[in-house]
Amino acid sequence: MPPPPLFSPPPLRLRHAAAFALVLAAAFALFFLAFSPSTTTSSPPSYGHRLPTLVDLTLVHGAKEKGAVCLDGTPPGYHWMPGFGDGSDKWLLHLEGGSWCRNLTWCDQRKRTSLGSSAYMERAEFVGILSDDQSQNPDFYNWNKVKIRYCDGASFSGNVEEEEQHGTRFFFRGQRIWEAIMTELLPKGLARAKQAFLTGCSAGGLSTYIHCDEFRALLPKDSTVKCLADGGFFLDVEDISGRRYMRGFYNDVARLQHLRKRFPGCSSDMEPGQCFFPQQVAKSITTPMFILNPAYDVWQVEHVLSPDGSDPQNLWQNCRMDITKCDTKQLEILQGFRKSLLDAISEFKKKRDWGMFIDSCFIHCQSMKSLAWHSPSASRINNKTIAEAVGDWFFDRREVKDIDCEYPCNPTCYNVELELVGGLID
């Protein structure tokens, strides 16, 4: 059986490969909350940096009249930190992640969280790629930065007119939310942006693939516009039991929110969920895109490669929580998973204006973790942090097609170790 939509979130202990340990508060470790780094977390040690800036929530004006609402009918929201200095006419937008809801039960659960209702949204910490601290975010610290909250359950892609679903009201309006927020931001200065960067992590990374070209079309032709998807390249692969669990999950999401019509270029002989995978969505993107993904994405290892229904004897429980506890056979399977990722992105590696950073770390959503994005203890490839590699690519300082060697070759890796504590309902 697949994991239920709700369980108590375990604490997340982050361990550097060089024995550098610290503790971060976990952010919604249930399946649909997806270890999303875009949810509220406690502040990690600053290591000489100041604490993260807290940014208030802005609700979208007139959203209800447009039908651009969260699952429960509340207006969507975003957090905007205005730029300053030479960043005043530059914009970075970040799409929040948080998995998806595959049926009405799961969507009903989300309606009582910030992933389905703005009634539960609070101020946001701007860290990593959203930080306004130059030492933490050297290339984008003084830009206008916007964190767009995720509350539709389908990566900002649904647009279902009907509100009644088996006697209960649900609003599947992610596409309208996207359009309403863009409409509100354009007159605030986005329409005059000299440079603009659309980013997102996890389900927000998938959103970035989906909306990248739409974003480009909104901005002046002479502006520089690029996109980055962090931890969003979800794979259509068999799990350890031989099922394509993730495809089945996406099939449910696509049918629930009528997503087939959202991707008209998707072949009619494909299952609806196949159209939702980044490998398919990215084929039509013409805007420069950066793929940021760990080769051993901790979320995908737990929920795509070894979902609970595929492991009735719990043989993978230790491995999926801590890569150092994987046995030889499990590591062999993980290397095969890495190869599947490299095969899937191979066609995009050929695109001259695309970039990528595929490290060999056991982590998820690195752009929204200050220590993983840019710090003395951050993971590196060719002695470059993720922030440095992304900046090099965005500003055309060098071509960036950085692909790490196999685990455990990289001693700088910033790996996570998950610790389950009592209260887990599985």
Q: Which residues are catalytic?
A: 202, 297, 364
Number of C-beta neighbours around residue 69 at 10 A: 25
From 179, 187, 188, select the one nearest 82 (Cα to Cα): 188
Q: What would the two tokens of residue 149 be?
A: 């909250």
From 283, 286, 312, 294, select the one nearest 362 (Cα to Cα): 294
Question: Could you say which DSSP state residue 255 is in?
Answer: H
Q: What pairs with residue 53 in β-bridges?
A: 126
- Quick one: 158 exposed, middle or buried, by C-beta within 10 A (0-12, 13-18, 19+)? buried
Residue that the structure tokens 């190869």 belong to: 339
The amino acid that residue 209 corresponds to is Y
Cβ atoms of 116 and 71 closer than 8 Å: yes
Calpha distance 77→148 (Å, rounded):
7
Sign, Cα dihedral of 306, 309, 313, 314:
positive
